[in-house]
């Protein structure tokens, strides 16, 4: 299995051959500028990729991510999951594209981008898309933008939990799904950054 850890801006290409798999971890919490441009090429029969993106926009940083998942062979699969928070005056842009070539039947691909907004001055622009040229395909995408709901805060505060601690619980809960997938040495970094 191929493993790739990405925490710096730049162009990254992952080629996955027949009966191979790849795991890609993308961490966007410390850099202020720069685009991470990731291309995943599933080039062989039964090739598969799993990618995780954890991002935290803070201060005035810019989290920019372009992801292209190219299904170039029969019976390939990919799953891309991004989850993060935006606070302060940060800006984020995500462009995700799943492409299935004409002869790439029996493809299974999913791309999701989920954001929790913690500031009215922060901005996120997720654009997931599909380009399907085969007919035996399962491919989908999702993008959601959430705020902390007053109802959720009310429930926690009614149990005696102070406002700030209640917010932290809700943020940790939102981020836990992606943080648990990260390499151990990145988990602490993320937890420190979201506080």
Per-domain residue ranges of the chain: 2-147
Closest by Cα among 60, 74, 65 to 94: 65
Reported as a pLDDT band with limits 50, 70 and 90, residue 29 is: confident
The predicted structure's pLDDT at residue 127: 95
Q: Distance between CA atoms of 64 and 55, rounded to whole angstroms?
A: 10
CA distance readout (Å), 122 to 55, 67, 191: 13, 22, 20
Give the pTM. Answer: 0.91
Q: Please report, for the chain, how many H helices and E strands are present, in that order.
A: 3, 11
pLDDT at 31 over 70: no
């Amino acid at each position: 299995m191929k493993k790739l850890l990405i925490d710096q801006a730049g162009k990254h290409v992952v080629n996955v051959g027949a009966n191979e798999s790849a795991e890609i971890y993308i961490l966007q919490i410390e850099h202020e500028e720069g685009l991470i441009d990731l291309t995943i090429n599933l080039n062989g029969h039964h090739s598969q990729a799993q990618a995780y993106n954890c991002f935290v926009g803070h201060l005035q940083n810019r989290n920019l991510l372009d992801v292209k998942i190219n299904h170039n062979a029969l019976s390939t699969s990919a799953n891309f999951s991004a989850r993060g928070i935006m606070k302060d005056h940060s800006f984020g842009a995500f462009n995700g594209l799943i492409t299935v070539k004409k002869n790439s039947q029996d493809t299974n691909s999913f791309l999701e981008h989920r954001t929790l907004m913690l500031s009215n001055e922060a901005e996120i622009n997720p654009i997931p898309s599909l380009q399907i040229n085969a007919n035996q395909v399962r491919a989908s995408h999702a993008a959601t933008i959430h705020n902390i709901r007053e109802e959720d805060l009310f429930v926690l505060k009614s149990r005696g939990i102070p406002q700030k601690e209640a917010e932290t619980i809700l943020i940790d809960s939102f981020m836990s799904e992606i943080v648990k997938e990260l390499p151990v040495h990145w988990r602490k970094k993320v937890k420190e950054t979201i506080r």
